[in-house]
Amino acid sequence: MNVASDFPVLAQTPHGRRLVYLDSANTSQKPQAVIDAMSSYYETTNANVHRGSYELAVRATEALEGSRARVARFINAATSREIVFTKNATEAMNLLARSWGTANLGEGDVVVLSDMEHHANIVPWHMLAAERGIELRWIPVGPDGHLVLDDLDRLLDGASLLSVTAMSNVLGTLNPIPELAAAAHHAGALIAVDASQLVPHVATDVQALGADFMAFTGHKMLGPMGIGVFWARAELLEAMPPFLGGGEMILDVTKDGFTTNKIPWKFEAGTPMVADAVGIAAACDYLDDLGMDTVRAHEVGLTAYALRTLTERHGDRIAIHGPSEPAERGGVFSFTYADVHPHDIAQVLDQSGVCVRAGHHCAKPLMRVLQVPATTRASLYVYNDESDIDMLADALTEAGELFSFQE
């Protein structure tokens, strides 16, 4: 796969070095096709949507609803009515907790999470626990980076919801969502999936996954910042109360109350992010043109090369967390290097033009499981190739020499 030239930001040469962008688990870069689609919207179509009768407003409405339909096709939703646009996946998870959770959970009800969750799938449930007295249970993570499912039936006993990531943003672990969904449903629980790291990298079929709710975000899948997606089965959305009030989410308002709009607009208060919706639809087009199976195969091969290269070149100085088998993980690898602080590693790598992330990656419970305060994280996408991994390995050698750990 050779598509780096489609991404204008990658033409830069920071510190006189070729830019090597290895932070796509945080946010992806944008192809020219996405940039052009959003620019074209603002240049030719911009207007507020749904209630305008003039041609420009009609075309803007068609752009928004056409983008919704495009996203629905990308994840094989049964209908575009199941696609709710949010500003990001964090808002989508909060929508789930505040709307469905508030309506359905009370004292003693159980939500099951895992130790590898992003804070966006932890904090909303802590907030609800403090308010409503719900119980949180936790699926542990084993030394191999996989969920330990031996006790899953007990954890799900009496639970109302299992809320779990499809792919760890730290370990890269791909969780067995169909298996987890079947177990949750057998126990009488629903399942919510944080698919922020899955949808950009693996062909995703919400119906085949068996999910009831799912959240993901545009900016990790070559789309713009400022738009996310909350998907749920239509019958669940119909039964859920609105999350925010005002604007598009109402049909009528009187001094005595209000009537909500139909789904999905019931959950889309205020002016929508139309240009961003156009951008995420263009990202879906771009990824489908590449082929999601091709994207996945590229990343599995590149992950294998990265794990092998870093281990061979840096030996026991580098500790890479997560599954050892590339097919069991996404293109995300978090590591520690000797006893150098991850932030120091990231700063030194930046001088070589290599962009990585350092910190707890919004996963502090997992950091405690790993018994580290932070890691350095490199993450791959369609615009990376083996030369990027070589530059990462070279930059780590320079870091080792700087900190006097190189033999």
- 256: exposed, middle or buried (Cβ count in 10 Å: 0-12, 13-18, 19+): exposed
Angle at 292 between CA 91 and CA 296, to 5 degrees: 95
In the chain, DSSP finds a helix count (H) and a strand count (E) of: 14, 15
- Active-site residue (options: 362, 367, 372, 393): 362
| For helices 274-290 and 32-44, angle between their N-to-C axes, nearest 10 degrees | 150
Q: Are 59 and 311 in contact (CB under 8 A)?
A: no
Tokens of 298: 């590229």
- Strand arrangement of the beta sheet that strand 159-165 belongs to: 83-86, 228-232, 213-217, 190-194, 159-165, 110-114, 135-139
Is 362 a known active-site residue?
yes
Structure tokens at 341: 């602080």
Both structure tokens of 29: 């870069």
Strand pairing report for 159-165 and 110-114: parallel
Query: What are the φ and ψ backbone dihedral angles of 222, each rounded to 5 degrees?
Result: 80, 0
Annotated catalytic residues are: 362
